[in-house]
Amino acid sequence: MGQYDGKVALITGAGGMKGIGRACALKLAAQGADIVISDFKRPTNDLPPQEIKAQWRSIDSVAEEIEALGRRCLRVWCNLTISSQIEDLAARAASHFGHIDILINNARAIIGRDRVGVTDLSEEVWGQFLRINTTAAFLNIKHVGRIMVEQGNGGRIINIASDASKRAKINTAAYTTSKFALIGLTQASALDLAQHHITVNAVCPGSVNTDRFNYWEADQAQVRNMSLEDFRASVVVDAGKSVPLGRVAEPEDVANVVSFLASAEAGFITGQAYNVNGGTLFH
């Protein structure tokens, strides 16, 4: 018997081959949960080279892994910049399985084009980050939260934030603002939903070895006449040197904390933001 037997978890941004969403989906499925996974259909030039080489098929591949664990899986393609698609995602999940018990807001905008100073940041890029990283999370909480309230059995909502939710770095105005806002959303939603025994928490990873596509890394690899894979590997090694525990996080490190916050043992924890960064930030 798994601790999530009979539970249904909805996870956004779950299609990456080395992504946090996939790691969360497999972690919860291995513990008995049925899973709803969503992602955006990305063009080939926005995919990591490893996924192209492996002929990875985003949420279709993840769904096959979940089903191989003996769990049911609903896959839904969803563009998080379109409000109606977010509402439909929640409705389809509830209709398919009859209930939703866990929501994990994991999806984020592709970083890289935001890596400029605030005076050079375009309003379009600024808006894209707020729309995907913050507004989409709000809409998921709104629509899934309503379903959880109507069910009357409580629930768990977990937002994947960032160490950028607590500390800015140079040339990250859009990303940092969107992630700071996610902590405010977490706290306010936790208070609003507490009377319904729905907890809302955030996980704040530092650098994570996800291999998700990054426009800045692609540009830097081209300037250095390196493959994107080789440049990405060097970034991971360099980032690990500044981490007290000696490495960047793996997606499974984040999924372990998510699994705890989704569990019955975390029933008296709400409105909190947990760091998963190997000791690089303490508050």
Residue 219 within a domain: no
Kindly give the residue spans of alpha helices, DSSP state H, lying in 195-264. Answer: 215-223, 228-241, 251-261
Residue 82 within a domain: yes
Q: What pLDDT score was predicted for residue 268?
A: 98
Q: What pLDDT score was predicted for residue 1?
A: 64
Amino acid at 183: I
Please identify which residue in the block is written with the tokens 């839904």. 76
Domain of 122, CATH number, reads 3.40.50.720
Residue 240 within a domain: no
Q: What pLDDT score was predicted for residue 96?
A: 98
What is the count of structural domains for the chain?
Answer: 1
Residue 205 within a domain: yes
Identify the three-state secondary structure at position 131. Answer: helix
CA 243 and chain centroid, separation: 22
Active site residue 179: yes
Q: What pLDDT score was predicted for residue 47?
A: 86
Tens digit of each residue's pLDDT, the chain (283 residues) = 699 999 999 999 999 999 999 999 999 999 999 999 999 998 888 888 889 999 999 999 999 999 999 999 999 999 999 999 999 999 999 999 999 999 999 999 988 899 999 999 999 999 999 999 999 999 999 999 999 999 999 999 999 999 999 999 999 999 999 999 999 999 999 999 999 999 999 999 999 998 776 777 778 878 888 888 888 888 888 889 999 999 999 999 999 999 999 999 999 999 999 999 999 999 9
DSSP string of 4-20? TTT-EEEESS---TT-H
**Structural domain of 133:** 8-212+250-276
Considering the candidates 27, 166, 175, 274, report the single residue annotated as catalytic: 175
Residue 128 within a domain: yes
Identify the three-state secondary structure at position 153. Answer: coil
Residue 230 within a domain: no
Considering the candidates 179, 215, 241, 274, report the single residue annotated as catalytic: 179
* CB within 8 Å of 124: residues ≥ 6 apart: none
Residue 234 within a domain: no
Residue 72 within a domain: yes
